[in-house]
Amino acid sequence: MAALYIILTASVIAISCGLLGSFLILRKMALVGDAISHAVLPGIVLAFLISGSRDNIPMLIGAAVLGVITTLIIEMLQKKAGMQEDASIGITFTWLFALGVILITSYTGQVDLDQECVLYGEIAYVPLDTFNLSNGLSLGPRALWISGSVLLLIIAFILKGYKGLVLTTFNKDYAASIGISTAFWQLAFMSLVSLTTVVSFESVGAILVVALLVAPPAAAYLLSQNLKKMLWLSTLFGILTAVGGYYLALVLDGSIAGAMATFAGVLFAGAWGWSKLTSKHSGTIPVTDKKNISTFF
Protein backbone atom coordinates (compact mmCIF):
# COMPACT_ATOMS: atom_id res chain seq x y z
CA MET A 1 0.00 0.00 0.00
CA ALA A 2 2.81 2.40 0.86
CA ALA A 3 4.41 1.80 -2.53
CA LEU A 4 1.12 2.44 -4.28
CA TYR A 5 0.59 5.71 -2.37
CA ILE A 6 4.08 6.92 -3.19
CA ILE A 7 3.74 6.10 -6.89
CA LEU A 8 0.25 7.57 -7.04
CA THR A 9 1.23 10.82 -5.34
CA ALA A 10 4.35 11.16 -7.44
CA SER A 11 2.31 10.51 -10.60
CA VAL A 12 -0.28 13.12 -9.74
CA ILE A 13 2.43 15.69 -9.04
CA ALA A 14 4.33 14.68 -12.17
CA ILE A 15 1.23 15.21 -14.30
CA SER A 16 0.59 18.64 -12.75
CA CYS A 17 4.19 19.66 -13.29
CA GLY A 18 4.25 18.22 -16.80
CA LEU A 19 1.14 20.12 -17.90
CA LEU A 20 2.32 23.44 -16.48
CA GLY A 21 5.91 22.76 -17.50
CA SER A 22 4.82 22.34 -21.12
CA PHE A 23 3.56 25.92 -21.14
CA LEU A 24 6.60 27.12 -19.18
CA ILE A 25 8.89 25.68 -21.86
CA LEU A 26 6.87 27.23 -24.66
CA ARG A 27 6.90 30.54 -22.81
CA LYS A 28 10.69 30.23 -22.49
CA MET A 29 10.38 30.22 -18.72
CA ALA A 30 11.60 26.74 -17.87
CA LEU A 31 13.89 28.01 -15.14
CA VAL A 32 11.18 29.81 -13.23
CA GLY A 33 10.32 26.71 -11.18
CA ASP A 34 13.91 26.60 -10.04
CA ALA A 35 13.80 30.27 -9.11
CA ILE A 36 10.57 29.82 -7.17
CA SER A 37 12.07 26.95 -5.17
CA HIS A 38 14.55 29.35 -3.58
CA ALA A 39 12.64 32.58 -3.65
CA VAL A 40 9.78 31.33 -1.49
CA LEU A 41 11.92 31.27 1.66
CA PRO A 42 11.13 34.82 2.83
CA GLY A 43 7.42 34.09 2.29
CA ILE A 44 7.65 31.11 4.62
CA VAL A 45 9.50 33.06 7.26
CA LEU A 46 7.11 36.00 7.07
CA ALA A 47 4.13 33.65 7.29
CA PHE A 48 5.72 32.08 10.34
CA LEU A 49 6.40 35.44 11.94
CA ILE A 50 2.89 36.70 11.28
CA SER A 51 1.00 33.55 12.24
CA GLY A 52 3.41 32.59 14.98
CA SER A 53 2.95 28.92 14.28
CA ARG A 54 4.62 26.22 12.31
CA ASP A 55 1.28 25.17 10.91
CA ASN A 56 1.52 24.27 7.25
CA ILE A 57 -1.35 26.27 5.80
CA PRO A 58 -0.07 29.82 6.49
CA MET A 59 3.37 28.80 5.32
CA LEU A 60 2.05 27.36 2.08
CA ILE A 61 0.12 30.57 1.49
CA GLY A 62 3.18 32.69 2.28
CA ALA A 63 5.31 30.60 -0.05
CA ALA A 64 2.78 30.68 -2.88
CA VAL A 65 2.40 34.46 -2.61
CA LEU A 66 6.16 34.90 -2.74
CA GLY A 67 6.24 32.61 -5.76
CA VAL A 68 3.88 34.93 -7.61
CA ILE A 69 5.87 37.97 -6.49
CA THR A 70 9.01 36.26 -7.80
CA THR A 71 7.55 35.92 -11.26
CA LEU A 72 6.37 39.53 -11.16
CA ILE A 73 9.83 40.80 -10.20
CA ILE A 74 11.45 38.69 -12.92
CA GLU A 75 9.07 40.11 -15.49
CA MET A 76 9.52 43.66 -14.26
CA LEU A 77 13.30 43.43 -14.43
CA GLN A 78 13.01 42.22 -18.00
CA LYS A 79 10.49 44.78 -19.18
CA LYS A 80 11.30 47.88 -17.19
CA ALA A 81 15.03 47.47 -16.68
CA GLY A 82 15.64 45.76 -20.02
CA MET A 83 17.56 42.86 -18.44
CA GLN A 84 18.11 39.49 -20.07
CA GLU A 85 15.75 36.78 -18.86
CA ASP A 86 18.43 34.55 -17.32
CA ALA A 87 20.03 37.48 -15.52
CA SER A 88 16.70 38.66 -14.13
CA ILE A 89 15.86 35.16 -12.89
CA GLY A 90 19.31 34.79 -11.35
CA ILE A 91 19.22 38.07 -9.50
CA THR A 92 15.64 37.68 -8.29
CA PHE A 93 15.89 34.32 -6.62
CA THR A 94 19.31 34.79 -5.06
CA TRP A 95 18.19 38.11 -3.64
CA LEU A 96 14.92 36.74 -2.23
CA PHE A 97 16.64 33.65 -0.87
CA ALA A 98 19.23 35.84 0.85
CA LEU A 99 16.43 37.98 2.27
CA GLY A 100 14.87 34.83 3.69
CA VAL A 101 18.13 33.76 5.28
CA ILE A 102 18.51 37.16 6.95
CA LEU A 103 14.95 37.04 8.22
CA ILE A 104 15.51 33.59 9.70
CA THR A 105 18.76 34.45 11.40
CA SER A 106 17.64 37.78 12.82
CA TYR A 107 14.00 37.33 13.74
CA THR A 108 13.10 33.75 14.41
CA GLY A 109 15.54 33.40 17.25
CA GLN A 110 15.77 30.02 18.86
CA VAL A 111 12.83 28.59 16.96
CA ASP A 112 14.01 25.87 14.73
CA LEU A 113 12.77 27.04 11.35
CA ASP A 114 14.46 26.29 8.12
CA GLN A 115 12.95 25.54 4.82
CA GLU A 116 14.18 21.98 4.86
CA CYS A 117 11.85 21.05 7.68
CA VAL A 118 8.97 23.28 6.68
CA LEU A 119 8.74 22.87 3.02
CA TYR A 120 11.08 20.45 1.45
CA GLY A 121 9.34 17.19 1.83
CA GLU A 122 10.60 13.67 1.43
CA ILE A 123 8.47 11.52 -0.77
CA ALA A 124 9.16 8.39 1.26
CA TYR A 125 7.17 9.90 4.14
CA VAL A 126 4.06 10.54 2.04
CA PRO A 127 2.18 7.43 3.20
CA LEU A 128 2.83 8.23 6.87
CA ASP A 129 0.90 11.51 6.96
CA THR A 130 -2.65 10.41 6.32
CA PHE A 131 -5.94 12.22 6.18
CA ASN A 132 -8.16 10.76 8.87
CA LEU A 133 -11.86 10.99 9.56
CA SER A 134 -12.96 11.73 13.12
CA ASN A 135 -13.71 8.05 13.70
CA GLY A 136 -10.10 7.27 12.86
CA LEU A 137 -10.74 5.91 9.38
CA SER A 138 -7.81 6.72 7.11
CA LEU A 139 -8.58 8.18 3.71
CA GLY A 140 -5.05 7.90 2.41
CA PRO A 141 -2.12 10.31 2.40
CA ARG A 142 -2.83 14.00 2.89
CA ALA A 143 -0.31 14.81 0.13
CA LEU A 144 -2.31 12.76 -2.36
CA TRP A 145 -5.50 14.66 -1.52
CA ILE A 146 -3.83 18.05 -1.77
CA SER A 147 -1.91 17.36 -4.97
CA GLY A 148 -4.98 15.69 -6.45
CA SER A 149 -6.99 18.86 -5.87
CA VAL A 150 -4.25 20.95 -7.44
CA LEU A 151 -4.20 18.66 -10.48
CA LEU A 152 -7.96 19.04 -10.91
CA LEU A 153 -7.57 22.81 -10.70
CA ILE A 154 -4.85 22.73 -13.37
CA ILE A 155 -6.88 20.53 -15.70
CA ALA A 156 -9.90 22.80 -15.30
CA PHE A 157 -7.78 25.87 -16.00
CA ILE A 158 -6.20 24.38 -19.12
CA LEU A 159 -9.49 23.05 -20.49
CA LYS A 160 -11.38 26.28 -19.86
CA GLY A 161 -8.57 28.70 -20.67
CA TYR A 162 -6.93 26.73 -23.49
CA LYS A 163 -7.41 29.34 -26.19
CA GLY A 164 -6.28 32.27 -24.08
CA LEU A 165 -3.31 30.37 -22.72
CA VAL A 166 -2.14 29.19 -26.14
CA LEU A 167 -2.70 32.55 -27.81
CA THR A 168 -0.78 34.51 -25.19
CA THR A 169 1.99 31.92 -25.28
CA PHE A 170 2.40 31.79 -29.04
CA ASN A 171 1.93 35.44 -29.96
CA LYS A 172 1.61 38.00 -27.18
CA ASP A 173 1.46 41.04 -29.44
CA TYR A 174 -1.29 39.57 -31.54
CA ALA A 175 -3.26 38.63 -28.41
CA ALA A 176 -2.94 42.20 -27.15
CA SER A 177 -3.96 43.53 -30.56
CA ILE A 178 -7.35 41.81 -30.30
CA GLY A 179 -7.84 43.25 -26.83
CA ILE A 180 -6.87 40.27 -24.68
CA SER A 181 -5.02 41.08 -21.47
CA THR A 182 -1.71 39.26 -21.64
CA ALA A 183 -0.93 40.39 -18.09
CA PHE A 184 -4.05 38.62 -16.79
CA TRP A 185 -3.09 35.32 -18.43
CA GLN A 186 0.49 35.58 -17.30
CA LEU A 187 -0.56 36.25 -13.72
CA ALA A 188 -3.20 33.51 -13.66
CA PHE A 189 -0.79 30.98 -15.13
CA MET A 190 2.14 31.91 -12.90
CA SER A 191 -0.07 31.84 -9.78
CA LEU A 192 -0.96 28.28 -10.66
CA VAL A 193 2.71 27.43 -11.24
CA SER A 194 3.61 28.96 -7.91
CA LEU A 195 0.88 27.10 -6.02
CA THR A 196 1.75 23.81 -7.68
CA THR A 197 5.45 24.20 -7.07
CA VAL A 198 5.02 25.01 -3.40
CA VAL A 199 2.50 22.27 -2.72
CA SER A 200 4.66 19.75 -4.55
CA PHE A 201 7.82 20.79 -2.69
CA GLU A 202 6.06 19.96 0.51
CA SER A 203 5.24 16.47 -0.65
CA VAL A 204 8.13 15.33 -2.80
CA GLY A 205 10.99 17.78 -2.35
CA ALA A 206 12.43 20.58 -4.43
CA ILE A 207 14.81 18.78 -6.75
CA LEU A 208 12.16 16.39 -7.93
CA VAL A 209 9.69 19.20 -8.60
CA VAL A 210 12.18 21.18 -10.65
CA ALA A 211 13.02 18.01 -12.60
CA LEU A 212 9.36 17.20 -13.17
CA LEU A 213 8.62 20.73 -14.39
CA VAL A 214 11.27 20.51 -17.08
CA ALA A 215 12.28 16.99 -18.13
CA PRO A 216 8.98 15.28 -19.07
CA PRO A 217 7.63 18.29 -21.01
CA ALA A 218 10.99 18.84 -22.69
CA ALA A 219 10.99 15.20 -23.81
CA ALA A 220 7.39 15.58 -24.99
CA TYR A 221 8.29 18.75 -26.88
CA LEU A 222 10.88 16.88 -28.92
CA LEU A 223 8.32 14.34 -30.06
CA SER A 224 5.28 16.55 -30.69
CA GLN A 225 3.94 18.37 -33.69
CA ASN A 226 0.98 19.79 -31.83
CA LEU A 227 0.33 21.05 -28.36
CA LYS A 228 -2.36 18.55 -27.44
CA LYS A 229 0.01 15.70 -28.19
CA MET A 230 2.70 17.45 -26.17
CA LEU A 231 0.40 17.71 -23.16
CA TRP A 232 -0.59 14.02 -23.42
CA LEU A 233 3.02 12.92 -23.81
CA SER A 234 4.06 15.05 -20.83
CA THR A 235 1.39 13.30 -18.81
CA LEU A 236 2.57 9.88 -19.97
CA PHE A 237 6.23 10.68 -19.30
CA GLY A 238 5.30 12.02 -15.88
CA ILE A 239 3.63 8.76 -14.94
CA LEU A 240 6.51 6.73 -16.39
CA THR A 241 8.91 8.82 -14.33
CA ALA A 242 6.98 8.14 -11.13
CA VAL A 243 6.70 4.39 -11.72
CA GLY A 244 10.15 3.88 -13.25
CA GLY A 245 11.83 6.06 -10.63
CA TYR A 246 10.21 4.19 -7.78
CA TYR A 247 11.46 0.80 -8.96
CA LEU A 248 14.86 2.23 -9.85
CA ALA A 249 15.11 3.38 -6.22
CA LEU A 250 14.16 -0.13 -5.06
CA VAL A 251 16.82 -1.70 -7.25
CA LEU A 252 19.48 0.79 -6.23
CA ASP A 253 18.21 0.97 -2.65
CA GLY A 254 18.55 4.76 -2.89
CA SER A 255 16.56 7.96 -2.55
CA ILE A 256 13.20 7.76 -4.27
CA ALA A 257 13.14 11.43 -5.31
CA GLY A 258 16.68 11.16 -6.63
CA ALA A 259 15.86 8.03 -8.62
CA MET A 260 12.75 9.64 -10.10
CA ALA A 261 14.67 12.76 -11.14
CA THR A 262 17.33 10.53 -12.67
CA PHE A 263 14.73 8.48 -14.47
CA ALA A 264 13.20 11.69 -15.87
CA GLY A 265 16.62 12.64 -17.22
CA VAL A 266 17.04 9.22 -18.83
CA LEU A 267 13.59 9.52 -20.38
CA PHE A 268 14.57 12.86 -21.83
CA ALA A 269 17.78 11.42 -23.30
CA GLY A 270 15.73 8.60 -24.82
CA ALA A 271 13.26 11.06 -26.34
CA TRP A 272 16.11 13.09 -27.75
CA GLY A 273 17.70 10.02 -29.32
CA TRP A 274 14.35 8.93 -30.71
CA SER A 275 13.66 12.36 -32.20
CA LYS A 276 17.09 12.33 -33.87
CA LEU A 277 16.50 8.87 -35.32
CA THR A 278 13.05 9.58 -36.64
CA SER A 279 13.36 13.20 -37.68
CA LYS A 280 13.27 12.83 -41.42
CA HIS A 281 11.12 15.93 -41.64
CA SER A 282 11.34 17.81 -38.38
CA GLY A 283 14.17 20.25 -37.98
CA THR A 284 14.75 20.64 -41.68
CA ILE A 285 12.95 23.33 -43.55
CA PRO A 286 11.45 21.93 -46.71
CA VAL A 287 11.86 23.66 -50.01
CA THR A 288 8.97 25.80 -51.06
CA ASP A 289 6.16 23.76 -52.37
CA LYS A 290 6.01 24.66 -56.07
CA LYS A 291 2.52 23.33 -56.60
CA ASN A 292 1.15 25.45 -53.82
CA ILE A 293 2.73 28.59 -55.06
CA SER A 294 1.23 28.14 -58.49
CA THR A 295 -2.24 27.60 -57.08
CA PHE A 296 -1.78 30.43 -54.63
CA PHE A 297 -4.04 32.91 -56.28
Q: How far is the CB of 178 from another protein (least distance, A)?
A: 6
Alpha carbon of residue 140 to chain centroid? 24
Nearest CA to 60 out of 270, 258, 201 is that of 201
Q: Which of 91, 167, 187, 207 binds another protein (CB under 8 A)?
A: 167
Q: Is 295 in the site for another protein (CB under 8 A)?
A: yes
Q: Which of 229, 247, 250, 274 binds another protein (CB under 8 A)?
A: 229
Q: Is 280 in the site for another protein (CB under 8 A)?
A: no
End-to-end CA distance of the chain: 65
Q: Which of 179, 251, 253, 277 binds another protein (CB under 8 A)?
A: 179
Site string for another protein, 10-29 (x = CB under 8 A): ----------------x-x-
Q: Is 84 in the site for another protein (CB under 8 A)?
A: no
Q: Is 183 in the site for another protein (CB under 8 A)?
A: no
Residues touching another protein, count (CB under 8 A): 40
Q: How far is the CB of 238 from another protein (least distance, A)?
A: 17
Nearer to another protein, 167 or 266 (CB): 167
Taking the C-alpha atoms of residue 27 and residue 106, their distance in angstroms, rounded to an integer, is 38
Q: Is 184 in the site for another protein (CB under 8 A)?
A: no
- Written as one string, the DSSP assignment of 113-153 is --HHHHT---GGGGGGSEEE-TTS-EEEEHHHHHHHHHHHH
Site string for another protein, 125-164 (x = CB under 8 A): -----------------------------------xx-xx
What does each C-alpha distance from 17 to 30, 169, 251 come to in angstroms? 11, 17, 26
Q: What does the chain come to in residues? A: 297
Beta strands in 165-273 (DSSP E): none
Ordered alpha helix ranges (H), 82-226: 85-107, 115-118, 142-170, 172-177, 182-204, 206-222
- The SS3 assignment for 170 reads helix
Q: How far is the CB of 284 from another protein (least distance, A)?
A: 8
Q: How far is the CB of 35 from another protein (least distance, A)?
A: 21
Taking the C-alpha atoms of residue 108 and residue 48, their distance in angstroms, rounded to an integer, is 9
Beta strands in the chain (DSSP E): 130-132, 138-141
Q: Which residues of the shown chain bind another protein in the complex (CB under 8 A)?
A: 26, 28, 82, 160-161, 163-164, 166-167, 169-171, 173-174, 176-180, 221, 224-227, 229-230, 281-282, 285-289, 291-297
